[in-house]
């Protein structure tokens, strides 16, 4: 494409199928303790 | 739903429901403004209204070409993707399986920070420390309530946990031992102000804990204005050498220096950069959360300054990355490809259902921020009393049960914000803290901007 550069595709939509295992880190435990950000966390579902 | 913004000449468009992120030219950016206003747009050929509207700025060929690229992305569900997650949200069966524990091993502290949400360490109660028995009971409680979850996190928290380090060690050893017995992986963190950090403690921490959070606010003047010793002096000179040693001893990884900014240092980008200049590679500086009556609390009128600071920080972040002098800033770290699934992103921080805090007396609360609030006392680990009626409210909460989150473009980046902040400012966990939301949205924009710059 000439006018649009895609940084990432439909990752969220694709994640709905296999998601929800719950093994990932609890958002608050990493460093913030007050302000939630989840997008910086890793998925732990290796299946 | 899409969200688009400009930052320093870069046009970014996010397709909220697919997670796609695009960098677009000015023509595409302007066409997207018109899409909602032109009823027949997104179908067939480029509508004449769009060509007429933008004809004075761009050539007809470029407009049509750009329009067609938009349509191509719509066809493959990377723009204007329908929101189908509401149905998934209704079906989330979030059993209250606990996988994270904030263990308050000390409700005492050797600093007297002015903004401390814990009332300078004692959480408005008696100054006390946790017994080994209570700590071990908390581990037993979590294992018993963790269901099929394999990974369990424990944060040794306070007050100041190093004031009770013998119990920290005993409980950490016990958690690791019980984890092996019950096939659980315990990931341990310690959050400390660093005052009592010495080589012996550091050696134990480095051998047994996967994360270490070190509290410091940034520049000496800023840190010392808020983070006071018991005698009223500044803490910077005491802690800085220890924190540097700790960070280096962990090879500048698997730790954070974690600070707080208030309305007394709205130029907090300088504090982040100060910590980076001092050699720290893993940095998190967070906005203070305080009541309206506190003079240090962030006010709505401070937001334009704060937004500027995040942009300044983002620009410098990119510069340093490109020059090899990188550092990580917690809220700018977004993993566009390998991040958490949408179910995690819609279901929030986990407080009260997956995450609990346990006090020195064994009392259970939804998280550290609720400690001391009797309305949210969930039980006690010493008698296995656990009120799951309250926890169900937390389990049922997600970005689709919060009207403001449902309409927000950033909902899948923040997952609905901090329940405790929401409760503090709105009296309910279902209405997020608006000033916090504004700052989070800005941080996400900066994070996306950084990603766009780094792929160039």
Q: Which residues of A touch B340 (CB under 8 A)?
A: 15, 19, 24, 38-39, 41-43
Are residues B451 and A7, on separate chains, in Cβ contact within 8 Å? yes
Q: Count residue pairs from A and B with Cβ separation < 8 A.
A: 222
Are residues B88 and A16, on separate chains, in Cβ contact within 8 Å? yes
Are residues B443 and A37, on separate chains, in Cβ contact within 8 Å? yes
Chain A residues in contact with chain B using a Cβ-Cβ cutoff of 8 Å: 1-13, 15-16, 18-20, 22-45
CA distances from B283 to B145, B214, B264, B274 (A): 33, 10, 20, 10
Q: Does B217 touch chain A (CB under 8 A)?
A: no
Largest CA distance in chain B: 76
Chain B 305-364, CB below 8 Å of chain A: which residues?
330-331, 333-345, 348-351, 354-355
DSSP B380-433: ETTTTEE-HHHHHHHHH--TTTSHHHHT-TTHHHHTT--HHHHHHHHSSTTS--
Q: Residue A31: phi, psi to the nearest 5?
A: -155, -25
pLDDT for the residue B124: 81
For residue B372, how many other CB atoms are within 10 A of its CB? 18
CA B98 to chain centre: 19
- Of all residues in chain A, the one with the smallest CA distance to B150 is A23
Q: Which residues of A touch B76 (CB under 8 A)?
A: 10
Strands B151-157 and B100-104: parallel
Are residues B286 and A38, on separate chains, in Cβ contact within 8 Å? no
Asked if residues B372 and A46 have their Cβ atoms less than 8 Å apart, the reply is no
pLDDT for the residue B298: 96
DSSP B76-128: TTSSS----HHHHHHH--------EEEEE-EE--SB--TT-TTTTTTTTS--E
Q: Which of A9, A19, A39 to mutate to test the interface with B (most CBs of B within 10 A)?
A: A39
Q: Which of A38, A43, A44 to mutate to test the interface with B (most CBs of B within 10 A)?
A: A38
Asked if residues B53 and B75 have their Cβ atoms less than 8 Å apart, the reply is no
Q: How far apart are the first and last CA of chain A?
A: 33
Looking at CA atoms only, how far is residue A16 from chain B in angstroms? 6
- Of all residues in chain B, the one with the smallest CA distance to A20 is B343
Q: Does B421 touch chain A (CB under 8 A)?
A: yes
Are residues A7 and B455, on separate chains, in Cβ contact within 8 Å? yes
Structure-token pair, residue B266: 């709205």
Q: Which stretches of B105-237 are assigned E, i.e. beta strand?
A: 106-107, 128-129, 151-157, 185-192, 211-215
Q: Which of A2, A5, A8 to mutate to test the interface with B (most CBs of B within 10 A)?
A: A8
What residues are paired with B20 via a beta bridge?
B15
Examine the predicted complex and report whether its ipTM is higher than 0.85: yes
Residue A29 in this model has a pLDDT that exceeds 80 = no
Are residues A26 and B153, on separate chains, in Cβ contact within 8 Å? yes
Q: Which of B291, B344, B345 to mutate to test the interface with A (most CBs of A within 10 A)?
A: B344
pLDDT for the residue B110: 96
Residue B3, SS3? strand
Structure-token pair, residue B158: 């306070």
**Alpha-carbon torsion (B144, B149, B155, B158), positive or negative:** negative
CA distances from B173 to B121, B169, B208, B234 (A): 25, 6, 8, 34
pLDDT band of residue A46 (cuts 50, 70, 90) is low
Going by C-alpha positions, the residue among B3, B98, B4 that lies closest to residue B388 is B98
- Of all residues in chain A, the one with the smallest CA distance to B215 is A31
Q: Does B185 touch chain A (CB under 8 A)?
A: no
Structure-token pair, residue B230: 């018991």
Residue B245, SS3? helix
Residue A27 in this model has a pLDDT that exceeds 80 = no
Torsion angle defined by CA atoms of residues B397, B398, B400 and B406, in that order, rounded to the nearest 10 degrees:
120
d(CA B197, CA B161): 10
Are residues A42 and B77, on separate chains, in Cβ contact within 8 Å? no
Looking at CA atoms only, how far is residue B181 from chain A in angstroms? 19
pLDDT for the residue B37: 75
DSSP B252-313: T-S-EEEEEE-GGG--THHHHHHHHHTT--EEEEEE----TT-TTS--GGGHHHHHHHHHHH
Block mean pLDDT (10 aa), chain B, length 456: 97 96 98 85 88 97 97 94 86 79 96 89 87 98 95 95 98 98 97 98 98 97 97 97 98 96 98 98 94 93 98 98 96 87 86 93 95 94 90 89 95 91 91 95 97 91
Give the H or E element holding residue B144: helix B132-144
pLDDT for the residue B214: 97
């Amino acid at each position: 494409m000439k006018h649009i550069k895609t940084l990432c595709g439909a990752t969220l939509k694709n994640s709905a199928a296999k998601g929800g295992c719950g093994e990932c880190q609890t958002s608050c435990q990493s460093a913030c303790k007050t302000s939630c950000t989840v997008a910086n966390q890793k998925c732990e579902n290796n299946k | 739903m899409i969200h688009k913004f400009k930052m320093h000449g870069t046009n970014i468009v996010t397709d909220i429901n697919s997670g796609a992120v695009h960098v677009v030219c000015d023509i595409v950016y302007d066409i997207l403004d018109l899409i909602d206003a032109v009823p027949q747009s997104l179908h067939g050929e480029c509508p004449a209204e769009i060509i007429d509207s933008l004809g004075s700025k761009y050539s007809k060929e470029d407009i049509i070409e750009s329009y067609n690229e938009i349509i191509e992305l719509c066809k493959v569900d990377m723009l204007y993707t329908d929101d189908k997650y509401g149905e998934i949200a209704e079906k989330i069966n979030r059993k209250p399986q606990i996988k994270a524990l904030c263990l308050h091993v000390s409700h005492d502290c050797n600093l007297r920070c002015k903004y401390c949400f814990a009332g300078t360490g004692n959480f408005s109660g008696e100054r006390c420390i946790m017994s080994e028995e209570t700590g071990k009971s908390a581990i037993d409680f979590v294992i018993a309530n963790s269901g099929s979850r394999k990974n369990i996190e424990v944060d040794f928290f306070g007050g100041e946990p190093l004031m009770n380090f013998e119990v920290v060690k005993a409980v950490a050893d016990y958690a690791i031992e019980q984890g092996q017995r019950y096939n659980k992986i315990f990931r341990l963190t310690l959050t400390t102000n660093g005052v009592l950090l010495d080589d012996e403690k550091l050696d134990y921490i480095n051998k047994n804990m996967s994360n270490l959070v070190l509290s410091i606010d940034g520049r000496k003047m800023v840190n010392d204005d808020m983070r006071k010793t018991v005698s009223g002096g500044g803490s910077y000179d005491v802690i800085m050498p220890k924190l540097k040693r700790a960070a280096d001893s962990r090879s500048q990884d698997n730790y954070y220096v974690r600070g707080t900014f208030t309305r007394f240092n709205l130029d907090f980008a300088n504090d982040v950069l100060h910590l980076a200049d001092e050699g720290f590679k893993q940095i998190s500086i967070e906005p203070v959360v305080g009541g309206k009556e506190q003079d240090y609390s962030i006010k709505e009128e401070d937001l334009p300054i704060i937004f500027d600071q995040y942009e300044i920080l983002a620009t410098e972040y990119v510069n340093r990355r490109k020059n090899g002098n990188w550092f990580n800033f917690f809220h700018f770290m977004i993993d566009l490809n390998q991040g958490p699934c949408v179910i995690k992103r819609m279901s929030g921080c986990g407080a009260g259902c997956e995450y609990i805090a346990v006090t020195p007396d064994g009392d259970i609360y939804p998280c550290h921020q609720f400690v001391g609030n009797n309305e949210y006392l969930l039980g006690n680990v010493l008698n296995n009393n656990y009120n799951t009626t309250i926890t169900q409210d937390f389990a049922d909460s997600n970005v689709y049960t919060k009207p403001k989150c449902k309409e927000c473009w950033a909902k899948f980046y923040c997952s609905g914000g901090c329940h405790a902040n929401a409760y503090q400012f709105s009296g309910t966990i279902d209405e997020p803290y608006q000033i916090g939301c504004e700052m989070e949205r800005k941080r996400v924009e900066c994070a996306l901007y950084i990603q766009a710059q780094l792929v160039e």
